Amino acid sequence: VFTDAVDLTTNLRGLGWDWARGTHVPHETRPTRSALAFLLTTALCFVRDIFVCDALHHLAQSVSPSTFGSPSGGPILDPSLPLLKRYVRSSKIVLLGGGTVYFALSMMFNLATLLSGVLHPKTFDPYDWPPFAEAPWAASSLADFWARRWHQSFRRPFLALGGAAGRVLGGGTDAGMVLGA
């Protein structure tokens, strides 16, 4: 009962539970035949994510030291720059910031995977820990990005909390659910 309670509170995708229907599971790229090989590969991915996240964060800060170095922050659109430079600069900051968020979330997911494997080696199954996302940069549309490519970890909480409330506020419509989620 305790193990099920922990699984229900930490298994955001719902893998192994009936409420996981419709959840896309990304294609696995790590070796799954051996839990040890899987965990070693995950550890390497974790270390990679630390370095890439830190590098992208540093690059984003270097693009605009006045925005990130100031206690009050600043705009990413610098009105003193010519139009093209202004938007190239803001696009760099947005892309670097998005990459930072992606690798930070991936890093934390890999850490959770490692902790699960180390703390529960007898019950650890690599198939319970599919990749965090499936190459979101390869999305062919917004629907592909949100439905398959980006992480599915928050799908259930977004639908159960925001989607349910949005549906009620939207008069029982699917549009209200979409906006709420």
pTM of the model: 0.81
What's the pLDDT at 69? Answer: 65
Q: From CA 102, how far away is CA 141, in angstroms rounded?
A: 18
Burial 31-51 (b: 16+ CB within 10 A, else e): eeeeeeebbebbeebbeebee
What pLDDT tens digit does each residue of the chain (181 aa) get?
887 777 777 777 777 778 777 778 888 999 999 999 999 999 999 999 999 999 999 998 888 777 666 677 778 888 888 999 999 999 999 999 999 999 999 999 999 899 989 988 888 889 888 898 998 889 999 888 888 888 777 777 788 889 999 999 999 999 999 899 8
- Given this model, what pLDDT does residue 22 score? 75
